[in-house]
Amino acid sequence: MITLNVEKTFGFISKENVNAYEKKVQEAQEMLENGTGEGNDFLGWLHLPSSITQEHLNDLKATAQVLRENCDVVVVAGIGGSYLGARAVIEALSNSFAWLQEKKDSPVILYAGHNIGEDYLYELTEYLKGKKFGVINISKSGTTTETALAFRLLRKQCEDQRGKEMAQKVIVAITDAKKGAARLTADKEGYKSFIIPDNVGGRFSVLTPVGLLPIAVAGYDIEKLVAGAVAMEKACGKDVPFAENPAALYAATRNELYKNGKKIEILVNFNPKLHYVNEWWKQLYGESEGKDNKGIFPAAVDFSTDLHSMGQWIQEGERTIFETVISVEHANHNLLVPSDEENLDGLNYLAGKRVDEVNKMAELGTQLAHVDGGVPNLRLTIPALNEESIGGLLYFFEKACGISGYILGVNPFNQPGVEAYKKNMFALLNKPGYEEASKAIQARL
Ligand code: PA5
Q: Could you tell me the distance, in angstroms and rounded to a whole number, from the CA of residue 399 to the centre of ligand 1?
A: 19
pLDDT at 282: 98
Q: With 0-12 CB in 10 A as exposed, 13-18 as middle and 19+ as buried, what is 331?
A: middle
Beta carbons within 10 angstroms of residue 90's beta carbon = 23
Closest approach atom of ligand 1 to CA 144: 15
pLDDT at 54: 98
Name the residue with the closest Cα to ligand 1, atom 9: 80
Domain residue limits, the chain? 3-39+226-410, 48-223
Closest approach atom of ligand 1 to CA 80: 5
Among 422, 423, 435, 439, which one carries the catalytic annotation?
422
Peptide bond before residue 288 is cis, with ω within 30 degrees of 0: no
| Predicted confidence (pLDDT) per residue in 253-309, tens digit | 999 999 999 999 999 999 999 999 999 999 999 999 999 999 999 999 999 999 999
In a mutational test of the pocket of ligand 1, which residue from 42, 76, 82 has the highest number of ligand atoms less than 8 Å from its CB?
82
Identify the bridge partners of residue 379 per DSSP, sorted by sequence position.
Answer: 5, 325
Q: Ligand 1 pocket: which residues have CB below 6 Å?
A: 79-82, 139-141, 144, 147, 201-203, 287, 415
Contact yes or no for 85/48 (Cβ under 8 A)? no
287 is catalytic: yes
Mean pLDDT of successive 10-residue segments in the chain (445 residues)? Answer: 95 97 97 97 98 98 98 98 98 93 91 98 98 97 94 98 97 96 96 97 98 98 98 97 97 98 98 98 98 97 97 97 98 97 97 98 98 98 98 98 98 91 91 93 92
Closest approach atom of ligand 1 to CA 210: 13
Residues comprising the chain, all counted: 445
Q: Which CATH architecture has domain 48-223?
A: 3-Layer(aba) Sandwich (3.40)
pLDDT at 314: 97
Q: How far is Cα 302 from Cα 390, in angstroms, rounded to an integer? A: 17
Among 223, 265, 287, 363, which one carries the catalytic annotation?
287
Domain 48-223 in the same topology as domain 3-39+226-410: yes
Q: Is the pTM of this model over 0.85?
A: yes
- Looking only at the bridges linking them, the beta strands covering 73-77 and 133-139 are parallel
Sign of torsion over alpha carbons 107, 48, 176, 276: negative
Percent helix, strand, coil in the chain, to 5, is 55, 15, 30
| Predicted confidence (pLDDT) per residue in 41-63, tens digit | 999 999 999 999 999 999 999 99
Top CATH class of 3-39+226-410 equals alpha beta
Query: What separation in angstroms does the CA of 377 have from each of 16, 268, 326, 361, 371?
Result: 17, 10, 11, 16, 7
pLDDT at 418: 87
Q: How far is Cα 337 from Cα 240, in angstroms, rounded to an integer? A: 43
Backbone angles phi, psi at 134, to 5 degrees: -130, 170
Q: Could you tell me the distance, in angstroms and rounded to a whole number, from the CA of residue 139 to the centre of ligand 1?
A: 7
pLDDT at 234: 98
Q: Could you tell me the distance, in angstroms and rounded to a whole number, from the CA of residue 212 to the centre of ligand 1?
A: 16
pLDDT at 98: 87
Sign of torsion over alpha carbons 350, 354, 360, 362: positive
CA 333 to chain centroid, in Å, comes to 24
